[in-house]
């Protein structure tokens, strides 16, 4: 993945202002008016002290002072707008970025999620974007106010004493050079901090998800040790960042104090020569303060810019991650599906090295049930994941109703496939919401009908809150059998013509499995069904059974035919009988 140049990142960042340009312009206009007020005060003060008071113009003097009070009331209003609506602008941009990032992540394939930890991705979507929000609000505003104030103050100081103004302007490039040289180091340190924070988030997410396993093995101390190691790495990275920041801020403080010393020294010299009076020097000193304030603001901006762009770099890096599996140009949308599936010389590898499937050729007739059995690692689950294009075949072709699945839109292909796996995932929410996930526009009556067909309606109604019962994180409040039946109800609601059962009962006890097996038989009726089975007793009635291992398809036929062969299937079957499974 090519790295974006700084200019490209900045252009991408600025693009997020466009939908909110009216709010941005309001923010900048108020910031401009604040800068004008700050520039006017020393000039009006000088006029009052050099003209009004010596000329005994007392009434106009107090009118001017009253006007200044009103001006500062208006300045407070402008400041409120800048603070409230400016931050709101940042929040809106952050929300847009989070929306774009989350939407993009939905397009990425299984391979991407296989390679990235959940906590790391969560950090990209949440923590990194906070610093971007601060930059989005304060960045343009700080730069704009600073430039207006610096240029305005310098112009007025030129009018007071151009020689003294030139002394100051000669010191500015030194400060700018220092700022430029330190920015890159701060950027690098800030990026390391964000990477460490992402690592901590990933560790916490993993530890919380595996809390029950940690307690079962009494490994709480090990989890704490892992966290402490990540936390120490974060402290070191943060220390490096603060060290860089301290050098930067102390250097900027030195330069700003140098300005004050230079003004007093050179101002005193010009007073001695009769080229400047005391009121002029005092006014000049006020403008030096106005001149130094935006410089300090710019130094704070450098810190914000460093943190924000480090976060934006990680944001844009993930946004540039290209989906491995996309619709081909001209891909067709499936309307009616018979369910004929064919594998033609299909090979697949997860890492482009060792092949999980090699030159597999296989046909599954519409409406028939095919069982896949064999030792672990033979490619059974992989084969099933290739049909909905969770992964892309390395070689060969898979067709659905004689159409290459790569010529079918992903949405319509997956809409016609239902999957029930061993690892049932339920979202934190109600039973009703989890069943409705099978078809989001389903009515409550249709959900109840699906639950009846999955034979879980009675269990649900026995619960205190019925269909509104909260299932907990990943369904922890339900038994394995209840979670499995909810997943079956989801598929009944979806009503797909193709069904994949991936060791869907292997985690259940024999009694529960027997009851749920009846639901599966009802579910697979009239559908093209692929069953990956660990317990061979559950696939006796399949229309065809395929024995597959790392060498490919070894045997195929019905249950009684395979037993008569006396081969690998017979060996697996007898082993399970002996083990009492």
Residue 78 falls inside a structural domain: yes
Q: Please name the residue that has the structure tokens 């239902």.
A: 418
Q: What would the pLDDT profile of 403-454 be if each residue is shown by its tens digit?
A: 999 999 988 898 898 888 777 778 878 889 888 888 888 899 999 988 888 8
Domain for residue 549, yes or no?
Answer: yes
Residue at a domain's end among 319, 354, 382: 319
Mean pLDDT of 70-95: 85
Instruction: Tell me the pLDDT band of 552, cut-offs 50, 70 and 90.
Output: confident
Does any domain span residue 43?
yes
The residue out of 261, 292, 319 marking a domain boundary is: 319
Low-confidence winner among 86-90, 175-179, 468-472 (lowest mean pLDDT): 175-179
Residues 146 and 308: their CA atoms lie apart, in Å, by 19
Question: Residue 429 belongs to what domain range?
Answer: 424-495
- Report the distance separating Cα 455 and Cα 444, nearest Å: 16
Residue 216: inside a domain: no
Whether 327 has a pLDDT exceeding 60, the answer reads: yes
Q: Is 107 domain-assigned?
A: yes
Residue pair 519/454 in contact (Cβ under 8 Å)? The answer is yes
Q: Which pLDDT score, from 0 to 100, does residue 205 have? A: 63
Residue 108 DSSP SS3: coil
| Residues 149 and 296 reside in one and the same domain | yes
Residue 399 has what pLDDT? 92
Tell me, yes or no, whether 255 and 382 share the same domain: no
Q: What is the pLDDT of residues 342-392, one digit of tens each?
A: 999 988 887 766 678 888 888 889 889 898 888 777 788 888 889 888 888
Does a structural domain hold residue 230?
no
Is there a single domain that holds both residue 93 and residue 240? yes
CA angle, corner 307, sides to 305 and 311, nearest 5?
Answer: 110
- Mark whether 130 and 241 lie in a shared domain: yes
- Same domain for 379 and 253: no
Structure confidence at residue 406 (pLDDT): 92
Has residue 47 been placed in a domain? yes
Written as one string, the DSSP assignment of 167-205 is HHHHHHHHHHHHHHHHHHHHHHHHHHHHHHHHHHHHHHH
User: What tens digit of pLDDT does each residue of 498-515 get?
Assistant: 988 887 666 566 666 677
Task: Report the CATH number at residue 114.
Answer: 1.20.1560.10
- The structural domain count of the chain equals 3
Q: Is residue 229 part of a domain?
A: no
CA 135, CA 180: separation in Å to the nearest integer? 18
- Does 162 share its domain with 70? yes
Same domain, 302 and 334: no
Hey, CA dihedral for 449, 451, 453, 456, is it positive or negative?
A: negative
pLDDT score at 180? 63
Neighbour tally for 481: CB within 10 Å: 19
Predicted confidence (pLDDT) per residue in 210-261, tens digit: 665 565 556 677 777 777 777 777 777 777 777 777 777 677 777 767 777 7
Range picked from 126-130, 516-520, 551-555 for highest mean pLDDT: 551-555
d(CA 17, CA 35): 22
**pLDDT band of 60, cuts 50, 70, 90:** confident
In this structure, of 135-149, 427-441, 544-558, the range with the lowest mean pLDDT score is 135-149
**185 and 276 share a domain?**
yes
491 & 503 share domain? no
Q: Are 472 and 336 in the same domain? A: no
Alpha-carbon distance of 187 to 185, in angstroms, equals 5
170 with 308, same domain?
A: yes
DSSP 117-154: -HHHHHHHHTHHHHHHHHHHHHHHHHHHHHHHHHHHHH
**Which of 291, 319, 347 finishes a domain?**
319
Beta bridge partners of 470: 430
How many Å apart are CA 386 and CA 355, to the nearest integer?
14
Which of 409, 369, 370, 403 minimizes the C-alpha distance to 389? 409
Q: What are the structure tokens assigned to 383, written together?
A: 């084969």
Q: How far is CA 263 from CA 163, 290, 337, in A?
A: 11, 13, 84
* CATH number of the domain encompassing residue 484: 3.40.50.300
Looking at the fold, whether 124 and 270 belong to one and the same domain comes out as yes
* Tokens standing for residue 191: 């990026």
Q: Judging by DSSP bridges, how do beta strands 403-404 and 395-400 pair with one another? A: antiparallel
């Amino acid at each position: 993945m090519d790295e974006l140049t700084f200019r490209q990142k900045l252009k991408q960042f600025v693009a997020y202002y466009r939908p909110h340009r009216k709010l941005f312009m309001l923010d900048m206009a108020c910031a401009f008016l604040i800068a004008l007020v700050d520039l006017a005060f020393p000039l009006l003060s000088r006029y009052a002290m050099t003209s009004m008071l010596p000329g005994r113009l007392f009434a106009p003097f107090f009118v001017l002072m009253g006007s200044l009070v009103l001006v500062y009331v208006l300045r407070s209003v402008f400041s409120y707008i800048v603070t409230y609506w400016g931050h709101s602008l940042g929040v809106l941009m952050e929300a847009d970025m989070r929306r774009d990032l989350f939407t993009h992540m939905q397009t990425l394939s299984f391979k991407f999620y296989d390679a990235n930890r959940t906590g790391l991705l969560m950090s990209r979507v949440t923590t990194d974007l906070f610093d971007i929000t601060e930059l989005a609000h304060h960045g343009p505003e700080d730069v704009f106010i600073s430039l207006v104030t610096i240029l305005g103050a310098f112009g007025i100081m030129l009018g007071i004493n151009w020689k003294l103004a030139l002394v100051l302007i000669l010191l500015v490039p030194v400060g700018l050079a220092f700022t430029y040289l330190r920015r890159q180091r701060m950027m690098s340190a800030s990026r390391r901090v964000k990477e460490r924070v992402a690592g901590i988030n990933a560790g916490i997410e993993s530890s919380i998800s595996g809390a029950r396993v940690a307690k079962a093995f009494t490994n709480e101390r090990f989890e704490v040790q892992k966290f402490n190691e990540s936390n120490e790495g974060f402290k070191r990275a943060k220390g490096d960042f603060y060290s860089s920041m301290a050098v930067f801020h102390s250097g900027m403080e030195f330069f700003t104090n140098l300005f004050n010393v230079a003004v007093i020294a050179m101002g005193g010299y010009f007073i001695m020569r009769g080229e400047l009076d005391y009121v002029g020097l005092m006014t000049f000193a006020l403008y030096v303060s106005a001149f130094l304030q935006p410089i300090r603001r710019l130094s704070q901006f450098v810190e914000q810019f460093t943190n924000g762009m480090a976060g934006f770099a990680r944001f844009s890096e993930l946004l540039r991650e290209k989906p491995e599996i996309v619709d081909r140009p001209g891909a067709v949308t499936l309307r009616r599906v018979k369910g004929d599936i064919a594998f033609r010389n299909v090979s697949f590898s997860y890492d482009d090295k060792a092949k999980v499937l090699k030159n597999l050729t296989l046909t599954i007739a519409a409406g028939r049930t095919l069982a896949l059995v064999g030792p672990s690692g033979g490619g059974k689950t992989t084969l099933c994941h290739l049909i909905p294009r969770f992964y892309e075949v390395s070689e060969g072709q898979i067709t659905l109703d004689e159409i290459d699945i790569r010529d079918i839109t992903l949405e319509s292909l997956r809409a016609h496939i239902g999957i029930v796996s061993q690892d049932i995932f339920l979202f934190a929410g109600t039973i009703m919401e989890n069943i409705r996930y099978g078809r989001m526009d389903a009515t409550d009556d249709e959900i109840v009908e699906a639950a009846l067909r999955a034979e879980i309606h009675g269990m649900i109604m026995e619960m205190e809150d019925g269909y509104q019962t909260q299932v907990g994180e990943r369904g922890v409040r339900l038994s394995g059998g209840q979670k499995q039946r909810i997943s079956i109800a989801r598929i009944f609601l979806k009503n797909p013509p193709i069904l994949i059962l991936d060791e869907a009962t292997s985690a259940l006890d024999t009694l529960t499995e027997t009851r749920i097996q009846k639901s599966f038989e009802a579910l697979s009726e009239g559908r093209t069904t692929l069953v990956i089975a660990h317990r061979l007793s559950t696939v006796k009635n399949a229309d065809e059974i395929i024995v597959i291992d790392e060498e490919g398809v070894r045997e195929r036929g019905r249950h009684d035919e395979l037993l008569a062969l006396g081969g690998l299937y017979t060996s697996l079957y007898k082993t399970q009988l002996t083990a009492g499974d």
